[in-house]
Structure 1
Amino acid sequence: MRTARKGSVEMPAFVRQLVKETEKRVSSFFKGGRGGAAEGEHPAEGEREEVIPSPYLDRPVLDKLTEEGCTRWGLTYALGSMQGWRANMEDFHNCVPQLGGDLSDWSFFAVFDGHAGNTVAQYCSQHLLGNLLTTGGMGPEDDPEKVKDSIIEGFLQTDKHLQTVARREGWERGGTTVVATLISPFYIYFANCGDSRAMLCRSGQVCFSTSDHKPYSPLEKERIESAGGSVCLQRINGSLAVSRALGDFSYKGAENRMPSEQMVSPEPEVCVVERSPADEFLVLACDGVWDTITNDDLCAFIHNRLQVCTDLRDVCSQVIDLCLYKGSLDNISIIVLCFPGAPQLSAEALHQEAELEDLLESKVAEIYEEFCARGEEPDLLSVLTVLASSVIPGLPPGGGIQSKRNCIISAYYQQREIHKPTVPNGLGGS
């Protein structure tokens, strides 16, 4: 495990103001979900209205948590996670490359994206796998139908146990989405509950991806309304942006209805894909990734990065940076699992990468010189703006100019150092 630091990124003033104004306007209508007056109520006369802190920082937290590992049968994995612009880190994960006993050839990986606090996400990251295993449906026979039923039962049991703890500890408002995979010798099982997402890439293309559970999806909306809720501003009762999650018990109180029939359902959608020698890699990530990049673009980007990176943790780090530079304001967490058929280092790709970075450095130097010739000292944003409007061959597929921003920043500060005014002899002070 390691932690890496990157340079500071500052939110543009107009974006910061837009975020604050949006938060203020939304919270004035829907305070019930944010700790103020109940929905539809107004503060009593003479009562001070509660000030709701912004969920965003003025500067992102750029420290990255990374982790890596492998299995005896050839799967390698890496995790990358970063707090980003969010005021708190609410993501958790669980990476178990080899289960024990009769399941020694099975693996389990999951990403938990918490909301209204991180307690539920942390609890589920510690207990979900154990509840899956105690169902007894997983074994050497690897029966897909039995495994699917076990996964669903494990999620429901986790939510049931969590509710007991939540009532005792006061966690009713917290919740978490979950995206998980169980990999057996013959199958890949995907379980999704919420708007995190899993994606499988095979032969360089997206072979499978899970579906996000959003309140405005027709089937989800029908269940929400049948349970007595409504969908407003694409949220349940104007507040919660996901329609399936563990926790969120304030949305699970409809009488005479099964857990899967509540406004927020804890039942995951479980899919099974038969393994293939053409399988390359699998991605599990929270919506901080998927809000900024499509399945196809992320598949293309990782496929390309695997040909030029010797460390899978670096691939995860580059994805996180790409999402940050493309505008993600959320926590960002990603797990990349590589199968034996994943792309390998390529001498040709490494050569093309070196040529691209040389080209970017020379273009930054040209832009800097052009500004200086006009008597101006360019700021970084000006350089990035000119580059974004330029035709630059060889950019990473799916990543574009944003994926090389760290290289551009380095080249920019190198030019600043080169063009730093020199102090004449005798005028530099003692």
Structure 2
Amino acid sequence: MRTSRKGSVEMPAFVRQLVKETEKRVSSFFKGGRGGAAEGEQTGEGEKEEVIPSPYLDRPVLDKLAEEGCARWGLTYALGSMQGWRTNMEDYHNCVPQLGGELADWSFFAVFDGHAGSTAAQHCSQHLLGHILATGGLGHEDDPDRVKGALTEGFFQTDKHLHAVARREGWERGGTTVVSALISPYNIYFANCGDSRAVLCRSGQVCFSTEDHKPYSPLEKERIESAGGSVSLQRINGSLAVSRALGDFSYKGAENRSPNEQMVSPEPEVCVVERSPADEFLVLACDGVWDTISNEELCAFIHNRLLVCTDLRDVCSQVIDLCLYKGSLDNISIILLCFPGAPQLSTEALHQEAELEDLLESKVAEIYDELCARGEDPDLLAVLTILASTVIPGLPPGGGIQSKRNCIISAYYQQREMHNPTVPNETEES
């Protein structure tokens, strides 16, 4: 895959301003209903309006964290994560391809998406698996009921331990969603708490996906209201956008109610899927991925990428870039797990990929020359806009033109250097 030049990702100014103003006004409204005063403006009582920092940067942080590994029973995996447009990186992960001992053929993977800080996500990424193993529910017998119980109890114990740490260290704010996969020789156990998501691809199709826990879902809303909360703007008390999470203890104070009856529940939804030789790959990802791409689109895209790329880290990187180019404003994290039945490198697919990239390079050259002939400035945005309205055969399914943006940008700068050999390329961070 060709890498993009710096300066290739830019949020339009009016979109940045709209996002920042909306966030500021909504936050200000729920902090006391004074929304409307501009930053630093005086309120009616002569007080200075509280300055609420934007959660977004002017330019995204594009550095990626990558990790890869394998298990002795044939699993290979890779992780990719990026801070993106958010002011802070709040995602964490846990990748354990072999649990060891009598569980050497078991694997555990999880993505933790923190909110209102990274403390909860970091803590849980270090301790969740230990609490699950401490229940003693995992073993050679692979009893689904026992394993499901162990996962649920492990989440409860992690939340309890996190609360003790929060009280000791003097913080109550912040939490984390969790989506995890525990893989045994016979089954895949999914434990989901929040709006991160797991998707299993089998025989080229979506076989299973977890359900997001949102406050407006009927059963979640019923629990929230029974615990004394409300749902407005699709959020708990107009603030928190998820209904299940570890942490968020300010939403867990309803007296005489069990942990799973609080406004925010730490109880995971646990599902078991029997393994099959037709299993291809499994994706665990935060909502920074799912906000921009559907389950079916992502499975189609990854299936296609595995035909032309053997480096799973590169596949994860391509997914991250695709989500970024499709408009994701969140941290982006993905774990890709490939089973022995995953698609293999294809000579035909490689040939088609090369033909596609040659076609894109020629299209960019045509557009560049045409704009120059009309006396217009062939800037990158103009080239991308024209190309996006052009019918291009052979684009990766599920990815479209956005998935080849790095190739297009590389071709654009080649044209720029050919037409202006003495003009240096932009080097500013984007």
Query: TM-score with structure 2 length normalisation?
Result: 0.94
Distance in 1, Cα, partners of 2:380 & 2:107: 44
Structure 2 Cα separation of the partners of residues 247 and 403 of structure 1 = 36
Q: Deviations over 1:68-102 (max 9, x none)?
A: 00011100000000000000000000000000111
Aligned twin of 1:253: 253
| Native 8 Å contact 1:5 1:64 kept in 2 | no
Distance in 1 (CA, whole Å) between partners of 2:419 and 2:411 is 12
Report the counterpart of residue 332 of structure 2 in structure 1: 332
Q: Give the partner amino acid of 2:6.
A: G
Residue matched to 1:280: 280
Query: Structure 1 stretches (4+) deviating beyond 2 angstroms?
Result: 4-8, 42-49
Aligned match of 1:383:
383
Instruction: Measure, in 2, the Cα distance between the counterparts of 1:305 and 1:6.
Output: 22
Q: Secondary structure at the match of 2:92?
A: strand
Deviation per CA, 1:206-231: give whole Å up to 9, x if none.
00000000000000000000000000
AA at the equivalent of 1:294: S
Q: Rate the CA distance shift 1:412–1:159 in 2: closer, same or farther, 3 A.
A: same
Alignment partner, residue 320 of structure 1: 320
- Which position in structure 2 is the counterpart of 1:61? 61
Report deviation, 1:21: 1.2
Are 1:118 and 1:174, in contact at CA under 8 Å, matched by a contact in 2? yes
Once the two structures are superposed, residues 373-414 of structure 1 have per-residue CA deviations (whole angstroms, 9 ceiling, x without a partner) of 111121111111111111100000000000000000000011
Q: Give the equivalent residue in structure 1 for 2:6.
A: 7
Q: Is this contact kept in 2: 1:120–1:171, CA < 8 A?
A: no
In the other structure, the counterpart of 1:36 is none
CA contact (8 A) 1:221 1:231 kept: yes
In the alignment, which residue of structure 2 is the partner of 1:37? none
Alignment of 1:163 with 2:201, yes or no, is no
Q: Which residue of 2 aligns with 1:123?
A: 123
383-392 vs 80-89, which moves further: 383-392
Aligned length: 412
Residue aligning to 1:192: 192
Identity %: 87
Structure 1 residue aligned with 2:102: 102
Counterparts of 2:347 and 2:302, CA distance in 1: 17
Question: Does the CA contact (< 8 Å) of 1:5 and 1:62 recur in 2?
Answer: no
Q: Deviations over 1:299-354 (max 9, x none)?
A: 00000000101210000000000000000000000000000000000000000000
Q: CA deviation at 1:6?
A: 6.4
User: Greater RCO between the two (CA within 8 Å, min separation 6)?
Assistant: 2
For 2:171 and 2:336, the matched residues in 1 are separated by: 31
Equivalent residue number for residue 38 of structure 2: none
Whether 1:18 and 2:41 are equivalent positions in the alignment is no
> Partner amino acid for 2:58?
D
What secondary structure does 1:267 align onto?
coil
- Per-residue deviation, 1:32: 7.2
Please provide the CA RMSD for this pair. Answer: 1.6
Cα distance between partner residues in 2 of 1:141 and 1:230: 44
User: 1:44 Cα deviation (Å)?
Assistant: 9.4
Structure 2: gaps of 5 or more residues: 34-41, 424-430
Question: Whole-Å Cα distance in 2 between the matches of residues 43 and 179 of structure 1?
Answer: 43
Q: CA deviation at 1:176?
A: 0.1
Going from structure 1 to structure 2, the CA distance change for 1:271 and 1:6 (only over 3 Å counts) comes to farther
What SS does structure 1 have at the residue aligned with 2:65?
A: strand
Alignment partner of 1:405 is 2:405: yes
CA positional deviation for 1:25 = 1.5
Pairwise CA distance, 1:138: 0.6
Counterpart-to-counterpart distance in 1, 2:155 and 2:337: 23
Q: Hey, what's the Cα distance between the residues in 2 that align with 1:148 and 1:236?
A: 28
Question: For the Cα contact (< 8 Å) 1:119–1:171, is it kept in 2?
Answer: no
Q: Deviations over 1:1-51 (max 9, x none)?
A: xxx996342211011111111012101211279xxxxxxxx9894433320
2:209 matched to 1:209? yes
Preserved contact between residue 4 and residue 407 of structure 2 (Cα < 8 Å): no
CA distance in 2, matches of 1:44, 1:331: 38
Q: Which amino acid aligns with 2:87?
A: A
Alignment correspondent of 2:302: 302
Q: Secondary structure at the match of 1:85?
A: strand
Looking at structure 1, the residues matched to 32 and 285 of structure 2 have their Cα atoms a distance apart, in angstroms, of 29
Secondary structure at the counterpart of residue 128 of structure 1: helix
**Change over 3 Å in CA distance of 1:422–1:88 after alignment to 2:** closer
Structure 1 partner of 2:427: none
Q: Contact 2:227–2:262 (CA<8 Å) still a contact in 1?
A: yes
Give the direction of change, closer, same or farther, for the CA distance of 1:279–1:32 in structure 2 (3 Å limit): farther
Pick closer, same or farther for the CA change 1:92–1:386 going to 2, 3 Å. same
Partner of 2:237: 237
**Offset at residue 171 of structure 1 (A):** 2.7
